[in-house]
Structure 1
Amino acid sequence: MTLSAPPTPSFAGLTLGSHFQPIYSLPHRRTVGMEALLRASRDDKPLNPIDAYQGLDSLEQRHQLDLAVCQHHIRGFNTFPHENRWLFLNMDAASLAQPAHAEALASSILQAGLPPSSVVLEVPEHALESQERLIDCVKLLRQAGFLIAIDDFGVNHSNLDRVCMLEPDLVKFDRNLLRSAANQSRTRNLLPRLVHLMHEIGALVVEEGIETEKDVLIALESGCDLVQGYYISRPHEQPENDSVITPRIDARWDELMVRELLKRKLTRRQLELARQSFVQTAIALMQGTPFLHAATPMLNMPDVIRCFLLDSAGRQIGQNLNSLQPPAPEDPKLAPLTDTTGAIWSRRAYFQHAIDQPGVLYMSDPYLSMTDTRNCVTLSMAIEIDEAMHVLCADVLVTRN
């Protein structure tokens, strides 16, 4: 149940309206915020929000429009039942043009009746050429208690350095990043790493442009925190509630769970065979069998790419022993990286874990092999050969989505 809608205001001949789009938390399975979106018109003709701002004569007028729009959005937001949700407000570049404008915006929001902790101010990443001025305004708003979100990350000249300097609470990935992930496996595989990077910076991630079932699955796989888009709910004066949204998302959770279970079964079977053969190779080496003979059974495994041996300092002894299965075509562009004799792998996790726990089999996370740029995991174990510590390693191919 909602209260009556606020009266429709006007500004410089523009009629202002508000639509709201839910921002949904995938782990919490509920809406945790609403983004307020301007619905403007002139002479009863709908007007694109960008055109509404750009049609004004001065930066000061755009700033005044921003104040009026934010106040109207807050009045509309206050008609919803009082729940623990954020209101996301888009900021025009004019409100970041100087600290006085940012200060006026903060005061205007407070006067409209919302505590700063309930308001997420969306800062367009490319709002200003002057980073110093942008940072000053953002600091002022953060000190006032508002949450800060960087909007449209992942397009044009997105700048990680700027994200680090602004220290946002949230980063909103642009919809084009999701479109790219839906069409290109490399981007899809990169997306979880990009989410993790934002988490390392200290920001939660909102993925925008969720429009299909596939988009939801990509978002779930990526580990992002919040989602927004037409599949979740279309913008409206009275958007759909969680009783409608959550069953749609739960169905995708179930689909992903089934898919992951099947994938894990295949991967587990594949890796268990490689592990058994790896242990046999390690035992043979410790008993004095020459490396090539000891590794032959493992090199006949269909998914084993190569075996190699390191000394106690992580330096490779001899060349790689490559798979005895039909080889994958070699890329001549990678020829300078093929010979790894004497290479130092001491910074790799597979060496460090193995040397710290001799006799314990370790399996790395999937990663890109520097030797041939295939995705693999590395099995490793520190063993004693001729009274000296060595680390036996084997790269095993993993299939990525």
Structure 2
Amino acid sequence: MTTAQQERTAAAPHGFELSVASGLQRYSVQHSGLTLTSVFQPIFSLSHMRAVGYEGLLRAHDPFDRAVSPIDVFGEAARVGDVLHVDRLAQVLHMENFRMLGAEREWLFLNVHPGALTDPYHSASLLANLRRLDLSPRRIVLEVLEQSADDVERLAEAVRQFRERGFLIALDDFGAGHSNIERIWQLNPDIVKLDRIMLSHAAHRADVAAILPGLVALLHEAGKLVLIEGVETEHEAHMALSCDADFVQGFFFGRPAPGLADSAHAAECIGELSERHQSLVDARERRMANRLAPYLRAFERAAERLAAGEPLDEVCWNFLALDDAARCYLLDAKGRQAGRNVVLRADRAAHETRYLPLTDAQGANWLRRPYFRTAIAEPGRVHVTRPYLSINEAVPCVTLSVATHIADRTCVLCGDIDWFDDERF
């Protein structure tokens, strides 16, 4: 053993053993007949195209060198009332091994049981170990696990104190168990980790996939960075890109390992993925443009006829005769709907009876709608919204709009198109 190794061994907590495997030095510790050690799963920034952090994960083996699930380790600890001790033991082990890796700027993500955060001994022990290892609290991201807390106010106060000391706080497994929107308001984390189950559902259901970008946007507006965990396939990686997540974690990008991620390989992987994703986005935009083309032509002709003085009921027929055209309507310069919706097909009228209180839109105020504001801001040009949920039937739609002059007044002609889209990244 070298002098440096001897110094590190002497500095390690009592009971920790230093071993060398595959050229890597790492610590292990014996607990309840098991050998415990650490592996680290990289967390990548999609924008930086490199690992910005590593989550410390426990690995356990029995005396016959058979792997034991960490779930079983903590399950047994819970059975005998030893969870907080094992929680602290795992954190010290991860900090020791992370320090051995020589990472200079990356974060270390540590899973922390809510009960351990509110334990005064845990706080003192954590800070003491960081000082001993010369690790700044700013290098540590405390992941608050999704287990329930007996006293949420006490947990929130403990989280606040850790943050004041320089730690970052992550809310783990958002969307599962007790990790929900209320938990975000209570704990005010810096990073929110979306649970894998949300990504799994989104990969198989278009309606759930449509929610993810909005959820990420909501978290961004609340000042939270977003990490999507459990990314295992390229399809799921494209979904993470499409919803504008900040960070990703999962087997597709990097498996848990004793050492650091290969930075060159990570940059190449994320770079190639981003190029393929942009190609998919471009192709989807072209398909949308092709699909919209006949609607745009019919709508532009309707606007020309309307400006020439023809009645609304007559100018919209060609547009409404197209398969997915839903309705036309006219707004005044203040966003007020001047008359009823113009609907062509009888089956459309029958369908709308489920939303009978919404069918009469005469006098409705659509001033807040983007399609009105963009049309008023740039008159004479047809504007196209992104797909959104129509209030008329609670279905996805795209709205075409154009500001035009009828006699001496400004009006905005609008046309809605049903936009059911099963395409997913």
- Length-normalised TM-score, structure 2: 0.84
- Give secondary structure in 2 for the equivalent of 1:78: helix
Task: Quickly say closer, same or farther: Cα 1:104–1:75, change in 2 above 3 A.
Answer: closer
Q: Which residue of 2 aligns with 1:185?
A: 206
Contact 1:98 1:133 in 2 (8 A): no
5+ residue gaps, structure 2, are 1-21
Deviation at 1:133, TM superposition (A): 1.1
Contact 2:334 2:367 in 1 (8 A): yes
Residues 284-310 of structure 1, C-alpha deviation per residue, up to 9 Å, x if partnerless?
A: 222211112222232234443221012
Q: How do 1:63-74 residues align onto structure 2 when only pairs under 5 Å count?
A: 63-74=84-95
Distance 1:154 1:342 in 2: 40
Identity of aligned residues (%): 36
Distance 1:328 1:241 in 2: 60
Report how many aligned residue pairs link the two structures: 401
Deviation at 1:372, TM superposition (A): 2.0
**Which of the residues 275, 285, 289 maps onto 1:264?**
285
Greater CA drift, 304-313 or 181-190? 304-313
Q: Which residue of 2 aligns with 1:385?
A: 406
**Which of the residues 397, 403, 416 maps onto 1:376?**
397
Alignment of 1:6 onto 2:6: no
Deviation at 1:99, TM superposition (A): 5.0
Alignment of 1:132 onto 2:153: yes
Contact 1:59 1:94 in 2 (8 A): no
Deviation at 1:396, TM superposition (A): 2.6
Distance 2:384 2:409 in 1: 22
Alignment of 1:39 onto 2:85: no
Q: How do 1:199-278 residues align onto structure 2 when only pairs under 5 Å count?
A: 199-238=220-259, 240-278=261-299
Alignment of 1:355 onto 2:379: no
Q: Which residue of 2 aligns with 1:322?
A: 343
Task: Quickly say closer, same or farther: Cα 1:173–1:356, change in 2 above 3 A.
Answer: same
> Counterpart of 2:27 in structure 1: which amino acid?
P
- Cα RMSD for the two superposed structures: 2.9
Distance 1:57 1:326 in 2: 60
- Give secondary structure in 1 for the equivalent of 2:25: coil
**Which of the residues 28, 35, 40 maps onto 1:15?**
35
> Counterpart of 1:39 in structure 2: which amino acid?
R
> Counterpart of 1:232 in structure 2: which amino acid?
F
Distance 1:58 1:374 in 2: 49
Contact 1:383 1:392 in 2 (8 A): yes
Regions of 4+ moved over 6 Å: 57-60
Q: How do 1:18-29 residues align onto structure 2 when only pairs under 5 Å count?
A: 18-29=38-49
5+ residue gaps, structure 1, are none
**Which of the residues 350, 359, 367 maps onto 1:338?**
359
Q: Which residue of 1 aligns with 2:320?
A: 299
